[in-house]
């Protein structure tokens, strides 16, 4: 009996010690991990759409709430500001649109003074290789640069992909969703 | 996944992405038990059983315990404890209910705890975001693929006993080189599943 | 035995994975480049040293019947710590090593040393044992990774080292190449061992 008690006590103590140590390490590394993830996964896209800044858009990122999901929990959006001399002159964040094979994630860069696109970069897509997947090519994304968002972006202002209408529309939807978000939450983005 | 996609999914798991020859999981016991056919088949049976059960239980642990409590970072430690406990349980139950099978498997049963294939497949199920049924199918198919590689390998190695192999290659070394050529053969399946 | 002896044995006598034939899974999978091999080796060394230390420290308190369970909890905890630290401070390496980082927990080397050495020896000796074997393992992985990277990719540590017309032997960086390289290197080490043994006898 005493033996079993000893076994239980020792194992419990070891598990408790482990739990405590791990919770501690988890707490300490939470922020660095989030930063590392963003830097490695999103930074290439952010760099592709923003330029001419003297800050670190990843480090200076702002999280804003843009609504509620089906369960009533807040939906968060991460905004990456481009600053010069401390003032934000452009922002980049992700918009999503429905493509042919699921959601397309587009990193949209917008110049705040002119309301023009500084560029787009496709962050995630599962479109058909050779057809819709060609939205990642420069020949498709380049024409978005400099387009004005005063009015919603339409297909005639960019180079639509032939044979991939759904994919093209998906990207446009994502850009226009970003446009809506900018209109609604502009003030919060320029903190 | 629709029913018609399953056959390809299964073949993919067994041949194209064979967890041993393509994903490098489960090597230690592979080279240890595959010298003879009977040990190879014994290990295979044990692995199929444990891997399928472990896949299911770890899936439940992930989605009903780790995610709701937001402690996903404890996945590694939770999964290995589940596997160790499962193997222990299986040992105890088998000793009482199927003693002949228990004796046949011998030491291979507890050894499955440290078989990286079991933990590896459990983690893959989560990474690939499979549902419960897909997890069950993938775990089972992966184990079958592992067993296939194991049994084929044992067959080849039994023949080595009669071949003249340079002294420095004898044992594990020639085993590894052979496994390499088996892996090469299996990589030929790569175009099978799109 | 002196500390230095415990430390040195990891570099030849008990060199994993060649003379101590354990820890093969990660060896085959991550040695696609010299850098990945070294990274995995160092992560494994960290876990090995820490677990050896803690197991040795607690060896008198852990009842024999539950020692394997206790070792597993201890080792798994350090693996999670390494996972979190790598994610935070070495993310590209974390992505490269992928699923094999959590698989360090079933690396037979670590459980093997806990059972065979740390559970029965003092703290300093266990630390030396862990450090020596861990570093030996790292060197082995670095060597294998280098061979496969140079022949299979034409680079070493990311730098081009082969002549311009060199066509990389892609076989080397894929699964078959891993097995064959390991097997051949093992044969080579066997040969060197045999020669050293013969010389010692004569």
Residues A10, C70: C-beta atoms closer than 8 Å:
yes
> In angstroms, what separates the C-alpha of C81 from chain A's closest C-alpha?
7
End-to-end CA distance of chain A, in Å? 65
At C173 the pLDDT is 80
User: Which is more confidently placed, B171 or A152?
Assistant: A152
Tally C-beta pairs within 8 A across B and C.
123
Res. B25: pLDDT tops 90: no
Query: C183 with B177: CB under 8 angstroms?
Result: yes
Q: B-chain residues within 8 Å CB-CB of C44?
A: none
Residues of C in contact with A7 (CB under 8 A): 63, 65-66
pLDDT digits (tens, 9 = 90+) for B28-54: 777 766 667 777 787 788 889 899 999
Domain ranges of chain B: 14-191
Mutate to test the interface with A, among B65, B68, B69, B74 (most CBs of A within 10 A): B74
Tell me what the mean pLDDT of segment A80-102 comes to: 89
Report pTM: 0.81
Distance CA B6, CA B13 (A): 10
Over residues A99-128, mean pLDDT: 88
Q: What is the mean pLDDT of residues A90-117?
A: 90
| DSSP annotation of C139 | H
- pLDDT on residue B193: 59
**pLDDT, average across residues A15-40:** 90
C112 inside domain: yes
Of B22, B114, B119, the CB nearest to C175: B22
The shortest CB-CB distance from B114 to any of C29, C106, C180 is to: C106
Taking the C-alpha atoms of residue A31 and residue C36, their distance in angstroms, rounded to an integer, is 25
Query: Can you give the pLDDT at residue C12?
Result: 80
Mean pLDDT score of chain C: 87
Q: Look at residue B192 and tell me whether its pLDDT is greater than 70.
A: no
C80 at B interface, C-beta within 8 A: yes
Q: How many domains does chain C have?
A: 1
- Whether C154 maps to a domain, the answer reads no
**Greater model confidence, C81 or B169:** C81
What pLDDT, on the 0 to 100 scale, is given for residue C1?
55
Q: What is the pLDDT of residues B83-127, one digit of tens each?
A: 998 888 888 888 888 787 777 777 777 878 888 889 999 999 998
Closest alpha carbon to B76 in B119, B116, B19, B128 = B119
Token pair belonging to B74: 């404890």
C88 touches B at CB < 8 Å: no
- Please indicate, yes or no, if residue C171 is contained in any of the structural domains: no
Instruction: State the pLDDT at residue B17.
Output: 84
Residue B180's Cβ-side half-sphere holds a number of Cα atoms within 13 Å equal to: 20
Query: Which contacts qualify for C186-189: CB closer than 8 Å, 24 or more apart?
Result: C186/B172, C186/B173, C186/B176, C186/C18, C187/B166, C187/B168, C187/B169, C187/B173, C187/B174, C188/B168, C189/C15, C189/C18, C189/C19
Evaluate whether B24 touches C175 at the Cβ level (below 8 Å).
Answer: yes
| Residues of A in Cβ contact (< 8 Å) with B77 | 18, 22
CA distance B2 to chain A (A): 16
What pLDDT is attached to residue C138? Answer: 93
Residue A188: pLDDT above 80?
yes
Distance from C-alpha of A84 to C-alpha of A111, rounded to nearest angstrom: 13
DSSP single-letter state for residue B91:
H
CB–CB of C87 and A36 under 8 A? yes
Record: contact A14-C91, CB cut-off 8 A: no
Digit-coded pLDDT (tens) for C97-136:
888 899 999 888 898 888 888 888 888 889 989 999 999 9
Strand partners, A64: A77
CB C66 to CB A10 under 8 A? yes
Residue B80: predicted pLDDT: 92
d(CA C5, CA C10) in angstroms, rounded, equals 9
Owning domain of residue C136:
3-143
Residue ranges in chain C whose pLDDT is less than 70: 1
Nearest 5°: the CA angle B5, B193, A164 is 80
| More confident position, A48 or B189 | A48
Residues with Cβ within 8 Å of residue A118, at least 6 apart in sequence? A49, A50, A51, A90, A92, A109, A110, A111, A145
Instruction: Tell the residue number behind the tokens 């493509």, with chain if given.
Output: A99
Compute the average pLDDT of residues A159-173.
88
Q: What is the pLDDT of residue B34?
A: 66
How high is the ipTM of this complex? 0.81
DSSP state of A71: T
Q: Give the residue from chain C lying closest to B21, CA to CA.
A: C175
Please report the pLDDT score of residue C89 as a whole number. Answer: 92
Question: Hey, is C168 helix, strand or coil?
Answer: coil
Q: Which chains touch A (3 or more CB pairs under 8 A)?
A: B, C
Give the pLDDT of residue B135.
92
């Amino acid at each position: 009996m005493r033996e079993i008690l000893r076994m239980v006590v020792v194992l419990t103590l070891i598990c408790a010690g482990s739990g405590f140590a791990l919770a501690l390490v988890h707490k300490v590394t939470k922020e660095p991990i989030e930063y590392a993830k963003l830097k490695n996964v999103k930074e290439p896209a952010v760099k592709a759409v923003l330029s001419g800044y003297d800050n670190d858009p990843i480090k200076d990122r702002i999280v804003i709430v843009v609504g509620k999901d089906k369960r009533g929990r807040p939906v968060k959006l991460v905004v990456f500001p481009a600053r010069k001399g401390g003032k934000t002159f452009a922002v980049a964040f992700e918009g999503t649109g429905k493509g042919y094979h699921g959601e397309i994630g587009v990193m949209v860069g917008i110049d705040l003074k002119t309301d023009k696109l500084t560029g787009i970069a496709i962050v995630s897509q599962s479109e058909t290789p050779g057809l819709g997947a060609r939205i990642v090519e420069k020949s498709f994304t380049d024409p978005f640069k400099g387009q004005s968002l005063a009015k919603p972006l339409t297909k005639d202002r960019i180079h639509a992909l032939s044979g991939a209408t759904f994919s093209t529309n998906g990207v446009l939807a994502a850009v226009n969703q970003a446009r809506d978000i900018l209109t609604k939450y502009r003030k919060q983005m320029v903190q | 996944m629709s029913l018609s996609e399953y056959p390809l999914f299964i073949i993919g798991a067994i041949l194209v992405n064979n967890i041993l020859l393509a994903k490098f999981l489960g090597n230690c016991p592979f080279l240890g038990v595959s010298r003879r056919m009977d040990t190879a088949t014994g290990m295979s049976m044990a692995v199929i059983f444990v891997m399928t059960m472990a896949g299911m239980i770890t899936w439940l642990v992930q989605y009903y315990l780790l995610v709701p409590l937001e402690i996903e970072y404890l996945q590694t430690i939770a999964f290995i404890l589940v596997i160790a406990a499962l193997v222990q349980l299986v040992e105890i139950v088998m000793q009482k209910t199927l003693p002949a099978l228990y004796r046949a498997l011998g030491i291979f049963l507890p050894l499955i705890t440290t078989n990286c294939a079991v933990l590896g497949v459990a983690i893959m199920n989560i990474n690939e975001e499979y549902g419960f049924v897909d997890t069950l199918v993938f775990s089972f198919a992966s184990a079958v693929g592992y067993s296939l590689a194991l049994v084929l390998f044992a067959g080849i190695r039994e023949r080595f006993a009669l071949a003249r192999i340079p002294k420095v290659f004898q044992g594990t070394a020639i085993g590894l080189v052979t496994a390499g050529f088996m892996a090469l053969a299996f990589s030929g399946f790569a175009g099978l599943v799109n | 035995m002196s500390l230095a002896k415990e430390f040195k044995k990891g570099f030849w006598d008990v060199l994993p994975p060649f003379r101590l034939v354990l820890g093969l899974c990660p060896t085959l999978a991550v040695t696609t480049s010299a850098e990945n091999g070294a990274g995995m080796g160092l992560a494994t060394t960290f876990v090995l040293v820490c677990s050896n230390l803690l197991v040795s420290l607690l060896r008198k308190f852990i009842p024999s019947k539950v020692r394997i369970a206790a070792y597993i909890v201890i080792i798994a905890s350090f693996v999670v710590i390494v996972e979190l630290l790598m994610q935070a401070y070495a993310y590209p390496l974390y992505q490269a090593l992928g699923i094999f980082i959590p698989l360090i927990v079933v690396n037979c080397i670590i459980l093997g040393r806990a059972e065979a050495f740390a559970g029965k020896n003092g703290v300093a000796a266990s630390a030396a044992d862990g450090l020596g074997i861990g570093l030996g393992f790292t060197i082995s992985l670095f060597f294998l990774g280098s061979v496969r990277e140079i022949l299979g990719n034409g680079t070493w540590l990311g730098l081009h080292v082969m002549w311009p017309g060199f066509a990389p032997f892609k076989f080397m960086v894929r699964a078959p190449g891993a097995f064959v390289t390991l097997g051949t290197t093992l044969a080579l080490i066997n040969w060197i061992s045999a020669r050293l043994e013969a010389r010692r006898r004569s």
